[in-house]
Structure 1
């Protein structure tokens, strides 16, 4: 039941982050602003993640993970209720920033707790089960929140997330063990682990390599409407296909990472690069685009793989690297759409986001080569144990 409680929290976080993207047309209409300006609410959330993840993780190193996760879940609930009650868009930007603060710390703490309570050889799979909630959010949470918001207003999505946050707090209080804080820990010890060059290169793999997935996902709805020429009713269904892909990719990635996270990361990046290269040629045809979107979503399996690889690199700094991984993940969420937007603005069309995404994924693969070389001696030691 601990796995369920942590996955529920990840489901809440995933719904909070990803459901905001389909809300942009509703938000721009409600506040009478342009769609690009409404997109700042996405950036505000991502900024909150980047600021909150390292700050919270490093200042709560000596706090029980159970207590921290309960507190973060309640904070998610409170800030999303506040988002639903804002009088204007500027207040929404503030509350979205605040709601992003606990994101990275929650996911990092949940991953560390899941890994520490799993038997050796199964830790990557345990982390993947936590991220499973994140991917299921793209299948159920995002379409449900989007559909209800189209009927009841954009605030419905925020209130759904608030309810999920409260439910997560209750489940964690009920099922999470009261494990003591490991002795000898502290912010300085966590920070020392960041002297490892391989850690920063691996974070770069996430920041660049994942940018491709977000580049596609952000402009998928517009691609469906303007390139594939589908009805708007197809958008939630295709988003669900994407979500199914992320779920299966996450499970496969976790299983592969139990053997060798470094090699699994390379495999996922090569796979994503090839899929993204064929994406543009499938965009005019719904029958071809649908399975391609599924395969694009499967690339998210890289997240559990990198989480496991980083904790192997820095066993004494798991809280710090887990938090920084969430920062890198959200920087990818900013980089991918930004670079894709440049290609669209330059007149290359929405289908060109596939080539941009493939370039980002390949860039992540190049960084993987450097990270693997830097970490090769350490991985040899880990595998020999």
Structure 2
């Protein structure tokens, strides 16, 4: 694979670290900013909203720039945001810094996915995407625990400052390793928006959103679920998080290879495996060993989903793939918020801690059905076009 992909993976690693590190250092941030834990929690919400609005906002102002320059600009914004967070003197400043850091999140993955597929060549596009996203999954295994430990032991400011240093390294990597566009193909907002009139694009976004809503409905409450039903202690919880991260990384790489061989079957396999794993968790959670193993399998299945969904939406968008590819990240963050809300509502209504995983399985199956609908629509549309031709 081209070395430029490692520069993209480093940027993805930094983005993953800064997104989830806040969850690990939240009490320290609340204490430092003199706010309550729930108030500090809005910093997580602010980041998620920044991701959702950042993709269309940055695409709208990026029409004159080459994709390499877009990647550089977004990574500079990311880096400045992290250094600003580290230097924040008040809650409002920190919130603004978190939103600023989040703005390039979705657009970076969207532009990066398009660049990665161009670098890899035909037949290796999904593997290139999976390699870039490996930075995001590895961040959950290494970056987030390290930032959490450092932030709680020394200073949460130092954690964000070091993530800012990672951003500088990613900027340097993009400058040195990512080639300039051979032909200047500017991102045109009107064409990018027109891609969303294609049912295949909208259906693929829905596939990813429903699939990951199932994951977040379960994973958002993994700590109280394992504690109360599996009897897991601190070590067991740490093992569960590590297994989820390792499974996600392995699934992401495997999903890239599967998607390059057969894109639609890879999508079906990924969503089907995810639905089965989430349903099994409701049975396996009552024993610590089987619960931990199943958490790893859920991570594996969730990783399988990423490359085929990302590649499928790039292909469905045709000549204007940037905003569509970036919107996948917006969909994932909507899934994060919606899945967590659904899981919390079920637990609050008295259905117990197994209810979120069963609901998650239903959401993953919904994604699988939508993938089938999308495939069916494309076949019918192709036949219709053939008859007209």
The alignment's TM-score, normalised by the length of structure 2, stands at 0.91
What corresponds to 1:254 in structure 2?
A: 256
Q: Deviation per CA, 1:2-26: give whole Å up to 9, x if none.
A: 1111111111111122222333344
The one of 306, 311, 326 equivalent to 2:309 is 306
The one of 307, 316, 331 equivalent to 1:328 is 331
**Misfit runs of 4+, over 6 Å:** 378-381
Tell me how far apart the structure 2 counterparts of residues 124 and 360 of structure 1 sit (CA, whole Å): 24
* Offset of residue 185 of structure 1: 5.5
Q: Deviation per CA, 1:242-287: give whole Å up to 9, x if none.
A: 1110111101111111123222112111110010011123333321
Q: Deviation per CA, 1:192-234: give whole Å up to 9, x if none.
A: 2222111111111111211111222222233334443333344
What corresponds to 1:171 in structure 2?
A: 173
- Match status 1:376 vs 2:382: no
1:233/1:84 CA distance change after superposition, 3 Å: farther
1:21/1:105 CA distance change after superposition, 3 Å: same
Show the 5 A alignment for 1:175-186: 175-183=177-185, 186=188
Aligned partners of 1:143 and 1:236 also within 8 Å: no
Q: Count matched residues.
A: 381
What corresponds to 2:215 in structure 1?
A: 213
Tell me how far apart the structure 2 counterparts of residues 154 and 51 of structure 1 sit (CA, whole Å): 26
Tell me how far apart the structure 1 counterparts of residues 44 and 284 of structure 2 sit (CA, whole Å): 28
Aligned partners of 1:19 and 1:146 also within 8 Å: yes
Aligned partners of 2:187 and 2:322 also within 8 Å: no
The one of 111, 114, 127 equivalent to 1:109 is 111
Tell me how far apart the structure 1 counterparts of residues 274 and 6 of structure 2 sit (CA, whole Å): 29
Over the aligned positions, Cα root-mean-square deviation in angstroms equals 2.2
- Match status 1:360 vs 2:354: no
* Offset of residue 129 of structure 1: 0.8
The alignment's TM-score, normalised by the length of structure 1, stands at 0.92
Task: Please list every run of 5 or more consecutive structure 1 residues that lacks an aligned counterpart in the other structure.
Answer: none
1:379/1:277 CA distance change after superposition, 3 Å: farther
Tell me how far apart the structure 2 counterparts of residues 91 and 185 of structure 1 sit (CA, whole Å): 32
Show the 5 A alignment for 1:203-282: 203-282=205-284
User: Aligned to 1:21, what secondary structure does the other structure show?
Assistant: helix
* Offset of residue 28 of structure 1: 4.2
Tell me how far apart the structure 1 counterparts of residues 222 and 24 of structure 2 sit (CA, whole Å): 10
What corresponds to 1:10 in structure 2?
A: 12
What corresponds to 1:45 in structure 2?
A: 47
Tell me how far apart the structure 1 counterparts of residues 200 and 233 of structure 2 sit (CA, whole Å): 46
1:220/1:367 CA distance change after superposition, 3 Å: same
Which region of structure 1 is more displaced relative to structure 2, 239-248 or 87-96? Answer: 87-96
Aligned partners of 1:11 and 1:133 also within 8 Å: yes
